[in-house]
Structures are given as structure tokens and as C-alpha cells.
Amino acid sequence: MSTSTRTTGTRPSAVRGRRPSPALGLPLALLTLASAVVLHLNRSAAWGWVAVGLLLAGATLVVLRLRRPSVRVAAWGVCTVLLAVTAFGSHPGPRHRPVAGEAATPGGIVRTTYGPVSGLRTADGAVEVFAGVPYARPPVGDLRWRPPLPPQPWTGVRQATAFADAPVQPSSSFALRALQQTVDVPLAEVFVNPYPTGEDSLYLNVWRPTRPRSAALPVIVTVPGGGFATGSGELTVLDGTPLARRGDVVAVTVNYRLGVFGFLAHPELDAESPHASSGNYGQLDQVAALRWVRDNIAAFGGDPRRVTIAGESAGGESVCLLSTMPVAEGLFHRVIGGSGACLGTAGDTAAGDQVDRREVARRAGRELSARLGGASVAQLRAMPAERVFAASREEPGRWRPSIDGHVLRRAASEVFAAGEQHDVPILVGSNADEASLARAAPPDTAPAAYRADVERRFGTQTAEYLRLYPGGSDEEVLDSILHADADRVVHRAMHLWAREHTRTGAADAYAYFFTRVPPDPALQEFGAYHGAELMYAYGTLGAAGEAEYTATDLRLSAQMTDHWARFAATGDPNGPGLPRWPSVAEAAEQVMEWGERSGMRPRPRAAAVDFWLRHRGPIA
């Protein structure tokens, strides 16, 4: 046998006997680990995991057959790119949640002034849901940045069985999903919208009990919060099913335009308006939704003469502003406001004021046009929403209600001081740890820097400020910063709202303070955080994450929903089996505490809140 024959004959056995070298094993292990981490952080769909597994298997077979190191490196590079594209791209994307649960059944048909709609029933048959009911025309094209118009009538039965898109807002990204997978944040869906978005979003949702009734029921219309930048009526924590299941309330949630699409003011828009005003389109959407409720809610079993508007955070600010708006007169009869009011200063939001004055808001509109190549309003309307939205995010805190001379004629504090607010009963309050979400990304807490900042900001008031908010250690500085933010922005606002409403109006005001810490071990550091009361008041315990809720939590939730239902029905939260709750006129220095034990207690953090009441501003 020749030499060439012997050599050729030994190659197959040599290949079969070779073990994978470190040049194969190490890259394979690293890519497998990295892919698994990305898939997990991305909340990838099952197909993403399968596809990544097949890619890794295929890459291993290919690399095993390659001899030249440079070719192997190139192959690993191609594999890495394919794996990254697959792992990052396999997030299932935003999806609507089921309207009435997974086992919903067809519901009845209701005739509205624009046409008939059909809904869904929950599996137990106790609640009927009508989702995605239009209250205005889609504000797209030439209707972008115009007051809402009534919807076009229809003749056939419209299926109100799916939620409408949320208003345009930031959507989930890989970075935000990864953060949520590694850090527990309360009410994550409020801050990171999980639902599809679009400009065609002016719809509302109705939940009604199916139990036979002899009279029309009070109605609670919820305006979602989210800093006028995020949020929707689809949020799980605001689901109206538990309220409707009680049998004594009809629940409604609404969408309204957010961000630049809801609050752009611009000189060209002023020129189009018969009132020479612009901005506040989101507020006008809320008014249009309330007009729809006035004209249609009786068909759903609701009483148009007993409409309560409710909101938390920016939703609380919204219902507070509605109380000052002449265009909203007669559309509601009670107000529930949580952790957000409208009695801050007017001036420039970039300087810390709550709302912009007319000229400041219009300047922001001109600057947006400049960022988009000097575009006119007509050109802005023709642009894709994504382009306008991206440009608006260079100044994200700017797009919110402003003084326009028509919708908001002057600062809300001036309206309340003059007693010109809509004089209806109000129920308002805040939570013990309103600013605690900042613990997820804490500020600088060096005591020396803290004291220097206090001296710069408060001058001769430094000693008083440091008595209220000491800063002897990093931990004490962090606590003081969070307390000061909560007192300045929220506790002051809610106390002032109740006080001014009582001082200048005839209708009652009721004040609360929520102190219950939800029993989720991962969220204990946040305490009674901003928005924690919602799942108790709406009966949606678990909407902010699974937890071992105790008898105390269930009892508190039942008590709060009882108070809300009584208030919606009569304008007075008191009723059989509930702790006595005097109005602010009866007990100005007392509030209803909702917590481990509920009952009246002295007004919380009174000295600190009074400090901010004396503060001249700017103040949000």
C-alpha cells in the first residue's frame, strides 16, 4: 500500500476521535449564556428560545467542520449577529389584555346616540363590559391638534369587545424590560406601557353589573394618571370589574391625548381657534368623554345626574382642573382625587411651576417646529406621528396643561381662591410614601452637598428646613429628600385643595391619608408608595404584582370601595358599618387614615406641609 493511500485512510478515524477544543467550547458556552440572559431580560416568546437553540446547534455543526481559525472566527461572528437579532427581536410586542377574562361570553346590545354596541360578560355572568367605545372621531390628519369632534354614527352593531389602542406614549424597550426583570418597581405598567399605541385612541370602557336593579346607578368615571405622558383606560389596576360586581356602581375609564399630541400650544393653532387659544386638547378630550357619559350612560344603567370623576396623580390633577373649567360645568357631581391636584404655581414648568403660562407654552410649540425644520402646523399635521413624538421627547416634561385663556382661563389656585370652582363634594388625599419610587434610582446623598444645596435654595430658612428635613447621614439625607418631595408636591397640594374648597365653597370635602404597605416582600422598601391605594380602592389587589394579601388587606379594600361607592351615590362617604368620617369643615385638622387600622387621625406631617404652604414657589 502506498504512502498516499495510508494517509488518506487514517483521516476519518482521526476526525472521529477528536474532542471539541477550547476554541469551540468556550465561544459556545459564552454565546449560550449571553443568549439565555438576553432572552430572559427581553421576556422573549417561546419561539425565540427555540430559534436560538436551533441556531446554536447549527453553529456548532458548522464550526466543527471548519479548520482554519480565521474562518471559525468569522463563523462565530455571523452566529453572534444572528443570535442577537433573534434574541432581541423575539419579544412578543405590545398586546391588549382580555376585556372580560379568558372565559368571557357574548354580552347584550346597548343603543348609544351614535349606534348600537355589544359587549362581553365575565365568566360568572356578574359583569358586562363594553370596551373601545368611541366618544370622539380619531384625532388624525387634519384633526390632529383640534378640539375633539363627536364620533361618526354607525348603523350595524359595533363590537365593543376589545380595548382600543393607548394614546401615543413611550412604549416598552429592551432596556426597560430588562430593568423590570431585575428590579421590582410598583405599578410598572403605568410607567412602561405594555399595550399597543396610536393616535386613534379616543375611546372609553364601561363596566356594568348584570344584576337586576330598580333604579339607575351612580357612575364613577376614571381619568388615568401618568404625568400626562403615559397611561390608558386599559390599565389592570383601574379595571372596573370589581366595582361593577358590587352591583351598585357603573364604572367607566377613558383615554385622552397625551404628551405633544394632547398639549401642544402654537401661535398658528391660536390663529385657527375661534377662541384664539391652543393646547389642552387632552383636557378637552376628557370633557368630550363626560359629555358622552351624560348623553349615553343611562342606556347602560347609569345615572347621568350622579357622575363622579376620579383620578390619581395626573388623573387627580385632571379632575382638579376639570373643577375649574367652565366648559365642564354640569358634567359631573362629585370628585375623587388622589396624589395629584392643580393648585401649584403657574409660570414655567422648566423652572418648577406646575403649569406653563400662555407665552411659555407657545414658545415651546415654536421650538418644536424649529427642531422639525421650521415646519408649519400644516406640515406638522402631515408628518408621521413617530417623527413628531420623537422630536417632542427632547423636552419631555413640557407637554401638559397650560393657561390658554379659554379652557384654562387662569391659574387653578386663583379660581379656588375666588370660589369659582364647580361646587361639588370632593374626596381627596395622598399616600404616606409618595416619593419613594426614587429609591430605585436614588439621588446624591452626601450630607455636605445636601446642606450646601439647602443653603443655596432656602437662605434664611435653612435652619427651619433642616429641622424638618435633617441630613446628618447619607440615609437621613435620602429620607429627607423623599419626604420633602412628597410634602412639597403632593401632601401640600391635597391639603390645600380640601382647605380651599371648604373655605370658598358650600359643598363638603373629605380628606384621607393612605398608610398601608402592600405585602409584597420585593416592594417593602417603597412603603405606601405613589399609587398603592388604587388596587385597594378599585378592588384590584394583585394588579401591581402578586403578593400574599392578608385579611387586613381584603378588609381595607372592601372598606375603601364601600366609601367610594357611598360617596358616588350620595356625595357623603359615610354609611352603615363604616368608620365615621367627618368632613374638613367639621374636623379641619383630621383625616381618615386608611391603613392597618382605619379611622380618623391628626393631619399628617402638618408642620412640614405648612412650611410649603408658606413657600412662594415655584411649586408643582
Tens digit of each residue's pLDDT (9 = 90 or more) over 496-522 = 999 999 999 999 999 999 999 999 887
Q: Which among 284, 386, 257, 400 has a CA at the least distance from the CA of 342? A: 400
Q: Residues 504, 584: contact at Cβ < 8 Å?
A: no
Sequence-ordered list of residues with C-beta below 8 angstroms from that of 444, at least 6 positions apart, any chain: 450
C-alpha cell at 247: 352591583
* Four-CA torsion 18, 19, 23, 28, nearest 10 degrees: 130
Active-site residue, from 483, 530, 583, 593: 530
Give the largest CA-CA distance in the chain. Answer: 115
Which tops the pLDDT comparison, 64 or 311? 311
CB 353 within 8 A of CB 344: yes
**Which of 277, 271, 281, 262 has the alpha carbon at shortest distance from 377?**
271
- The count of C-alpha atoms lying within 13 angstroms of the C-alpha of 162, restricted to the half-sphere facing its C-beta, is 9
Give the three-state DSSP class for 397: helix
pLDDT-based confidence at residue 579 (cuts at 50, 70, 90): very high
**Residue keyed to cell 437553540:** 53
Q: Is residue 525 scored above 70 in pLDDT?
A: yes
Partnered with residue 250 across adjacent β-strands are 219
Total number of residues shown for the chain: 620
Res. 189 pLDDT band, cuts 50 70 90: low
Sign of CA dihedral 31, 33, 35, 38: negative
Average pLDDT rounded to a whole number, residues 454-463: 96
pLDDT at 187: 60
d(Cα 139, Cα 135) in Å, to the nearest integer? 11
C-alpha cell at 421: 370652582
Min mean pLDDT across 163-172, 186-195, 508-517, 536-545 is at 186-195
| 93 has a pLDDT exceeding 80 | no
At the fourth CATH level, which superfamily is domain 107-424? Alpha/Beta hydrolase fold, catalytic domain (3.40.50.1820)
Mean pLDDT value across residues 160-188: 77
Task: Pick the closest to residue 110 from 206, 199, 12 (CA basis).
Answer: 206
12's CB contacts (< 8 A; 6+ apart) are: none
The pLDDT value given to residue 39 = 80
Query: How would you label 53-90 residue by residue, b for 16+ Cβ within 10 Å and e otherwise?
Result: eebbeebbeebeeeeeeeebeebbeebbebbeebbeeb
Q: Indicate which residue of 128, 317, 434, 533 is catalytic.
A: 434
Return d(Cα 292, Cα 170) in angstroms, integer: 28
Contact by Cβ (8 Å): 563, 573: yes
Please tell me the predicted confidence (pLDDT) of residue 87: 81
Calculate ∠ Cα 561-565-566, nearest 5°: 115
Residue of 70 and 585 predicted with greater confidence: 585
Closest CA to 539 of 230, 247, 114: 247
* Cα–Cα dist 313/509, whole Å: 18
**pLDDT level of residue 295 (50, 70, 90 thresholds):** very high
Of 514, 517, 515, 519, the residue nearest 549 (C-alpha): 519
Instruction: State the amino acid at position 74 in one-letter form.
Output: A
Round to whole Å and give the CA distance between 531 and 210: 30
> Which tens digits make up the pLDDT trace of 353-403?
999 999 999 999 999 999 999 999 999 999 999 999 999 999 888 999 999
Whether the Cβ atoms of residue 323 and residue 238 lie closer than 8 Å to each other: no
Catalytic site includes residue 530? yes
Phi, psi of 349 (to 5 degrees): -60, -30
User: In the beta sheet, which residues pair with residue 33?
Assistant: none
Give the whole-angstrom CA distance, residue 202 versus residue 204: 7
Mean pLDDT rounded to a whole number for the chain: 91
Q: Among the listed ranges 49-63, 213-227, 299-313, 486-500, which one has the minimum average pLDDT value?
A: 49-63
pTM of the model: 0.89
Q: Of the candidates 522, 516, 519, 549, which has an alpha carbon nearest to the alpha carbon of residue 534?
A: 516
Q: Which pLDDT score, from 0 to 100, does residue 42 have? A: 76
Quote the distance between the C-alpha of residue 548 and its chain's center.
24
Whole-number pLDDT of residue 35:
84
Q: What are the CA-CA distances from residue 230 to residues 178, 276, 340 (Å)?
A: 19, 28, 15
The stretch 219-237 carries a mean pLDDT of 96
Q: What is the mean pLDDT of residues 242-247?
A: 97
pLDDT band for 54, please (50, 70, 90 cuts): confident
Of 277, 278, 313, 598, the catalytic one is: 313
- The arithmetic mean of pLDDT across residues 196-214, rounded, is 96
Which of 3-7, 124-128, 457-461, 574-578 shows the lowest per-residue confidence on average (mean pLDDT)? Answer: 3-7
For residues 186 and 437, the answer to whether their CB atoms sit within 8 Å is yes
Percentage of the chain exceeding pLDDT 90: 75
- Give 197's DSSP letter: B
Strands, E assignment, 169-270: 203-209, 217-223, 250-254
pLDDT tens column, 546-571 = 788 999 999 999 999 999 999 999 99
DSSP 418: T
Task: Return the domain boundaries, the chain.
Answer: 20-89, 107-424
pLDDT in tens, 467-480: 999 999 999 999 99
